[in-house]
Each structure stands twice: as structure tokens, then as C-alpha cells.
Amino acid sequence: MVLEKLNQAGIIDLLGSIYEHSPWVAEILFSQGITSQDNDVGFLAKRMKKIVDASSEEMKLSLLQAHPELAGKLAISGNLTKDSTSEQASAGLDQCSKEEFADFSKLNFEYTKKFGHPFIIAVRDLTRSEILTSFKERINNDSQKEFETALTEVHKIALLRLKAL
């Protein structure tokens, strides 16, 4: 990547989907200036994380709410982003049994009702069973702990997406 040679549209086109449906992260990144250091994925990931971490609680919640449910309605209807489709498929979420799908549906509903955003976990290298176990554990967290955990997972997803560029 040679980011410092890209204009704003190029940066947003390349990095706008790193944080799900949240191109504002790439917009702020560009407004702060792009240098050759940003060509290092680790450096760039830290810069983007700082932008999210410095945003308001409302913006963070909006970012969390932009994520799709796991094995949810968008996945079934084929309306996930390309990245989310690939990520969920890598964990076999597109191949759930009826029982697993029922578990995900119930947990998605209960979790979103409790926390106001979907359950978020970096699913790469996890099995459906591991994801369901984590889901069942995390639904018992308090709101603040789960908000922080979900943001940590969002940052993991962003790093994985940057590495895949």
C-alpha cells in the first residue's frame, strides 16, 4: 500500500469499510494527514483505533450498531457486506444446523435487546461452537463491560481486514 499517494476518495474507497459501514473513520484519518508510516498495517491500525477510541459514546454505539448479527437475517437474505460474508463463512456460520440457527436467533434477539447493539466477535479462526459458547458467556456481562468487549472485537476485525488488503 502507498497510502500517502491517494486522495481522499481513494483513502475512503480503500479504508472506508475497515470499520463496518463507518467510513467516517477513514475520513477523519485522511483529515489528520496520511504519511508513509501509514503504509505499515500495525501503525495504521493503531491510528484508526485511536480515532474510534477518541470518538463520542454515541459514535461508538453507532459503530457497534452498524455490525450485522451473526448468522442473522442479513446473512440469510444475502445482504451482508463482502467482508462480513467472507468472515462469517470462514467460521462456518453459513452452514448452521437448524438447532444452531435457532440458538443464534434467540441469542441475537436477547443480546441486542439487553445491550442495544449486536453481538460482535472476530470470527476468523473460531468454530460455530466456540462462537456460541462466547455468545452465551458474554450475554451475562454488564453493559459497560460488554460495550468495551464489543469495541475490542471491532478493533480485532479492523486489524484483520487491514492485513487482508
Catalytic positions, written as ranges: 67
Q: Are 91 and 124 in contact (CB under 8 A)?
A: yes
In sequence order, what DSSP letters do the residues of 101-161 get, joined into one string?
HHHHHHHHHHHHHHHSS------TT--HHHHHHHHHHHTTS-HHHHHHHHHHHHHHHHHHH
Q: Are 108 and 72 in contact (CB under 8 A)?
A: yes
Q: Are 93 and 71 in contact (CB under 8 A)?
A: yes
Q: Are 147 and 64 in contact (CB under 8 A)?
A: yes
